[in-house]
Amino acid sequence: MPFTIDTYIKENRWAHNWAFSIIIFTVGAAWFQKTAVSRTIAVVQASMLPITASGSFNTLYCSLVTVGIAVVWGVVVAAERMRKKPFLELWMEKRSWNWANMHTMILCWLLIAHMAFVFFTTRVPQEAGLLTATSRVGFLTNLPPENHEYATWFFNISILVWAVIAIYEQFRMGYNPQNKPWPRWSFWWVFVCMIAGFVGMGLNQMLA
């Protein structure tokens, strides 16, 4: 935490990493609370990822919004577990309930993948041109230049691979009425994503 605060003080546009971390954590936790309401809140949370990644808004404010959504998600989960009955379950048909639980997670995976998609299709092609004008124009107003950040490249590539694996395993698992644990490959690939980011950070330090 001190490292991230120091980084933010030096360059406040790095606050987007806080938002990304909170979003990914909330979505990951939503896997373990298989209810329509909790996973719908997770979709709302995941929707903040492309919003933050677009650079259209101050990313510190985006981070604060994600904290608020995470708190709401936590309160809902706590309430559902205390009452030992998910919200809306009695109001929905079993088929609709299963459909909502499955497809809300797929939407979350797609929205997380969108972060990497935006980086490769928008930020990478446009960043060099924007930097010829000034370091704070367009999406660079709220996001730092990252074309030369190995950590960003490695992490986004691994996230795209992870999203493909997660969506494939989600479809293969289907509605998961047996409450099977998180599919093996997408679970372990999460650690690949983290390692990829750390390796990229190390390369940046070595080549700085």
Chain segment 16-63, per-residue pLDDT in tens: 888 998 999 999 899 888 899 999 999 999 999 989 988 889 999 999
Q: Report if residue 170 sits inside a domain.
A: no
- For the chain, helix, strand, coil in percent to 5 are 80, 0, 20
> When comparing pLDDT for 10 and 142, which is higher?
142
Residue count of the chain: 208
Q: Report if residue 72 sits inside a domain.
A: yes
DSSP helix/strand/coil, 135: coil
Instruction: Name the domain count of the chain.
Output: 1
**Backbone region of residue 16 per phi and psi (left: phi > 0; alpha: psi in -120 to 50; beta: other values):** alpha
CA atoms within 13 A on the CB side of 201: 8
The number of angstroms, rounded, from the C-alpha of 47 to the middle of its chain's C-alpha atoms is: 9
Domain range for 134 is: 2-148
Q: Report if residue 79 sits inside a domain.
A: yes
Count of H helices and E strands in the chain?
Answer: 8, 0
Residue indicated by tokens 């995976």: 109
Beta carbons of 59 and 15 less than 8 angstroms apart: yes
pLDDT-derived band at 10 (thresholds 50, 70, 90) equals low
Q: Report if residue 41 sits inside a domain.
A: yes
The string of pLDDT tens digits covering residues 130-186 is 888 777 888 888 888 888 889 999 999 999 999 999 888 888 877 766 667 777 888
Q: Report if residue 166 sits inside a domain.
A: no
Q: Report if residue 19 sits inside a domain.
A: yes
Q: Report if residue 7 sits inside a domain.
A: yes
pLDDT-derived band at 95 (thresholds 50, 70, 90) equals confident
Q: Report if residue 33 sits inside a domain.
A: yes
